[in-house]
Structure 1
Amino acid sequence: MMHRRQLPWLAGGLLAAPTLAMPRLVRAQAWPVRPVTMIVPWAAGGGADSVTRVFVSGLEQEIGQPVNVVNRTGGSGVVGHTAISMARPDGYTLGVASSEISTFRALALAEISPDSFDILSRLATIPAGVTVAVASPWRSVRDMLDAIKAGRKGQYTASGSGLGGSWHIALAGLLRAGGMAADTVRWVPSQGGAPAMQDVVAGGISMATCSPIEGKGLIDAGQARSLAVMGRKRLEVLPNVPTLAEGSIEWFFENWFALVAPRGLPDDVLRRVLEVSARAQARPEVRNLLAQRGIVPVWETPEEAGRFAREYATTASDLLRALGIAKA
């Protein structure tokens, strides 16, 4: 979250302005004079890593310096997010935070929250979906919800992430939107969407609620069928897959990734980072590369990004309590 700060030369009087402003002006013009580190709290090849590397390809063009992507994994994202929050706030260490910054406290994993960072903007969203094996009798999410409601608790299983992860929260909200308890379907923890999709195809679980993009290869091969996406519009790369809203189901869920910095960036550096990052994200090649991967590019103000993260934390914590796994 970014707080509005009064610029010191506005408070120092007219005579003091030149001497106070000059060092900060020089620093703003100079940043960056050396390579920048971008920390990703998740493994290479995953959603956060993909978003970061596409964005960085544009950022390097804007600043004329290398941006080194460093994957700091471990602790369900705690290690990398902690490394970002504890870095020197000078603009030379930035990071791409995932939605877990809004759930760490609820799950008692770490004292990390949206307020642990200067959140500059969300960079991208990836909508959840519902994907089943091609042999499944369900042809729509409505068919699936009717079957779950008619069955016994725990009869059907789902996966896509660890316990309490984003795709688990997506399922919990969908079940509540369908008039059922959030834990009606038994969640099977996995290492991510791709392994979960393999389990779906093999018949080990009933459905996956990760992004359908993670199973696109299996969908294209005719081994899996995506019933719906939980975004507000259809994905360009899966144009035949409807949204939940098209089936009159009022639940939206998109995993998200945000450009963040350690709290306390100097105002001049902050303005410069925002300026070049906005240009990088607006580059056509960046937006096209994200869209081709089923990722929705985003750019917004720090105020909008911080407000979204805090509201998401409220919704996610409520669903985690409904699932019986919230610790705080």
Structure 2
Amino acid sequence: MRVTRRSLAALPALIPALASAQPAWPTRPVTLVVPWAAGGGADTVTRFFAQGLERELGQPVNVVNRTGGNGITGHAAIANAAPDGYTIGTGTSEFVNFRVLGLADFGAENLDLLSRLATIPAGVTVQASAPWRDFQAFAAALKEGRRGQLTGSGVGPGGSWHLAAAGMTRALGLEADRIRWIPSVGGAPALQDLVAGGLGVFTGSPVEAQSLAAAGRVRVLAVMAEARMTTYPEVPTLRECGLDWVYANWFALVGPRGIPAPVRAALLAAAERAHARTDVQEPMRARGIVPVWDGPEGFARFAAGFGQTSAVLLRELGLAKA
């Protein structure tokens, strides 16, 4: 084909026509993968966000729980999905630590970090029939008991709620592994174990314990937040109890690397609009979930700093392999 000045002059008019010939995204349902069990904190955040995203996209957004391997199964499913924008997921703090824990050669660089969606503070939740009426009594029992006497759960070894427990016991002047950790695929099953008497403490989110607390089956002794939670206004923070320890888990929108730039831009724009919707933010806040949107650059900086802090605790627990 001979290129002439006339053909070059026609290009600006031709480009919009070519672009319009490409199918718009999305033209079919989008899958949102959650690496943890239904009913837990990650699942709760995801389902609120998915409702808003569905309205913004005008396509169904199907939430799929892919549990197993301390979160590896679900995170790997997101990372290995076709990079076409139709399979994305909720990343949780665990993926930052997979390599340090020696669980998988997997880290933040394996995912497209789009933005954090929310944070949820950890707490100290016990069975309603437990002898501790407040955190001070619980802390005294931890100090008086032997190492490993009290069991805790909420996630796999080295996961978010395990780090919450480790940081709390270190702040008490005890060993990081003072609480013997029982692996779990998520907060919901761990809470059922707590109610059944198989666990001593749940250091996951009080958000996950809300219905059980309302039913009088568990008792939240303290929250690891900067301030009291609106959903538990009567429950003190650890700092109010004299302990300098704060911990919050985080949940983020991630995808496989290599999503085409136009699709990624459309996804980010729709996701940001969905996150800002009142019908997404209000239900989160009503449950003690703190909505966060920091975008790709802000999230990448946060994840790097979080990984450094977590590595210190993992070494204290004797779990670091790298």
Asked if TM exceeds 0.5, the reply is yes
Classify 1:25/1:178 alpha carbon distance in 2 versus 1 (closer, same or farther; 3 Å): farther
- What secondary structure is seen at the aligned counterpart in 1 of 2:220? strand
**How far apart are the structure 1 equivalents of 2:308 and 2:213?**
34
2:141 to 125, 147, 164: 147
1:180 aligns with 2:142: no
Q: TM-score by structure 2 length? A: 0.86
TM superposition shift of 1:124? 1.5
TM superposition shift of 1:300? 1.2
TM superposition shift of 1:129? 0.4
More moved, 195-204 vs 113-122? 195-204
- 1:92-144 CA-partner distances (Å, limit 9, x unpaired): 22111111111211222211111111111111222110012334443433333
1:296 aligns with 2:287: no
Amino acid in the other structure paired with 1:318: V
1:48 aligns with 2:17: no
1:265 to 245, 259, 263: 259
Say whether the 8 Å CA contact 1:101–1:113 is kept in structure 2. yes
Counterpart for residue 128 of structure 1: 122
Classify 1:204/1:35 alpha carbon distance in 2 versus 1 (closer, same or farther; 3 Å): closer
- What secondary structure is seen at the aligned counterpart in 1 of 2:112? strand
- The percentage of aligned residue pairs carrying the same residue is 55
For structure 1, list consecutive stretches of 5 or more residues without a partner in the other structure. Answer: 1-14
**How far apart are the structure 2 equivalents of 1:275 and 1:212?**
31
Classify 1:303/1:222 alpha carbon distance in 2 versus 1 (closer, same or farther; 3 Å): same
Counterpart for residue 158 of structure 2: 164
Q: TM-score by structure 1 length? A: 0.85
For structure 2, list consecutive stretches of 5 or more residues without a partner in the other structure. Answer: 1-8
Counterpart for residue 82 of structure 1: 76
Amino acid in the other structure paired with 1:227: L
Amino acid in the other structure paired with 1:312: F
Q: Over aligned residue pairs, what C-alpha RMSD do you find?
A: 2.8
Say whether the 8 Å CA contact 2:36–2:185 is kept in structure 1. no
Say whether the 8 Å CA contact 1:27–1:268 is kept in structure 2. no
- What secondary structure is seen at the aligned counterpart in 2 of 1:169? helix
Counterpart for residue 6 of structure 2: none
Say whether the 8 Å CA contact 1:122–1:259 is kept in structure 2. yes
- What secondary structure is seen at the aligned counterpart in 1 of 2:101? coil
The count of aligned residue pairs is 315
1:117 aligns with 2:124: no
Between structure 1 and structure 2, the one with the greater Rg is 2
1:235 aligns with 2:229: yes
**How far apart are the structure 2 equivalents of 1:24 and 1:289?**
42
Counterpart for residue 100 of structure 1: 94
